[in-house]
Structure 1
Amino acid sequence: MIKILSDSTCDLSPELIKKYDIGIIPLYVRLGEDEYLDGVNITPDDIYKWSDETEKTPGTAAPSVNDIMNILKTYDADDYIIFTISASMSSCYSNCMLAAEELAMEDHIHVINSKNLSTGIGLLIIEAAQMAESGKSAAEITDNIEKLIPRVRASFVVETLTYLYRGGRCSGVAAYFGNALKLHPRIAVVDGGMRPENKYRGFPQKYISDYVKDMEDALKSAKPERVFITHSGCSPELVIMVKDYLTKMERFGEILETRAGSVVSSHCGPGTLGVLFIDKEQE
């Protein structure tokens, strides 16, 4: 039997975690002196309230080697596949590798550096779960997933620059003028890191619509099985607008909506929205 796990930054919904029987390894969120577990005893709305009241950014931390070992010990499987946020963004990957060594199970614990975040990881997890259901071995799944990683397309458009500024990811001047001018950067995950790709202007309905329309050609060449709409607290009307746009494309078998977890939300702030998919293999 193969058990698939992921750190909590995969941002899969509880329904998808249950459907695909995914084990979750939570990261830590620190609000001042208080420490919480992502997805366990803190919500993004708790973080926004604290951050706005204190004008500080939360701290986040990877699970320890002992944390990972203790979670693995709760399962009884022949092989384990663990997905982690990009190794360039966190020590989750290295800690999972160390846990495998400590348990002397390097041949049975396959740790995958997703080189991504949020449902960029989630897309890979679902692919792996379906491969496991079809009877593929852990080694076969790992090999196939490694080939899929470069084809994941993950990007987000940010509602406010305040949280990126508080986290040291943009200057105070850029945040001030960006917010004043209603500029909203599109940030993409490329080669395991984040980089700005474009800037939009205006109110949410306009800039989110522009963001999705800019991706239409890329979406037409996506794997048709599924696409994610992942957000950190957008209005239902905005999500429906994006979902309707994707539905009218008549491209995807599943259009999945998820809410970003506490770790991802603490860095991007409220109102961030992304459309994530896997590029179709080139013939």
Structure 2
Amino acid sequence: MKRIGLAVNPTKPNAIPVTKTLVELIERHGAHAFVDEESAAKIGRPELGISQDQFPTSVEILFVLGGDGTILGFARQFAKPGLPMLGINLGHLGFLSEAEPEDMENAVQRVLAGDYCLEERLMLQAQVVRGGRVVHEAVGLNDVAIAKGSFGRMVTNRVYVDDMYVDQYTGDGLLLSTPTGSTAYSLSCGGPVVSPHIDVIVLTPICPHTLHARPMVIAANQEVRVEVEATHDELVLSVDGQLFYELENHDVIHVREAGYKTTLIKWRDREFFDVLRRKLHVAT
């Protein structure tokens, strides 16, 4: 019998009633549901509650109820133990989600029938080195951004790939993205859309103050080193737009593929390019 975990973003509209309905659907189809403790209490089923730390050892699959940001957060938490996640969209875009609240019963039936595939998504590991010592370290599913934090200031990022000098980019910053993140911040900065089925890293300058700066795609097994220079101290490193670390002049950032990937549950009949057209409103 399947054991399905429900990780809920309680700040989303209708999160609690949707969670209650989903639990009823899972139980109706003969599976066990486990819910994060806060949400279990809110739906009046405290006996189903477990801590989020228990999900990797207690469930086989995790349903994530929220938007893309919710999935990014849980990806950083549950990718390492290899817990497969199915996104149920309670947000706006829902690019990473595979189901909507109105088709949850179909999603439950497909999962219980094994009618899905597992898609592994590249993650990036970032380290901030200061004075020869690692002061910050984080892993993200979408992107790592090195940026200035104030309007009207610029930052210079000197970039090396596998210790080979590439170029330096002066402007608002530099973005390093996975294929998953290529449809997020990188896309708005003029970066390419990359199929999630290949493992590469996209380097996209953010508002570069030069005509020749262009996005670049490198192999995922290459390491990027970025040396930061600025005449001010308002610098920041962000991971997935959710984790933020203050940077200092002359910090060195190392970015490489993480030692594990995010595992997403996907429908076999739902192609990436179909989702791309629909979610980004591309005319057909």
TM-score, scaled to structure 2: 0.31
Q: Which has the higher helix share?
A: 1
Higher relative contact order (CA 8 A, sep 6+): 1
Q: Which has the higher strand share?
A: 2
Greater Rg by CA: 2
TM-score, scaled to structure 1: 0.31
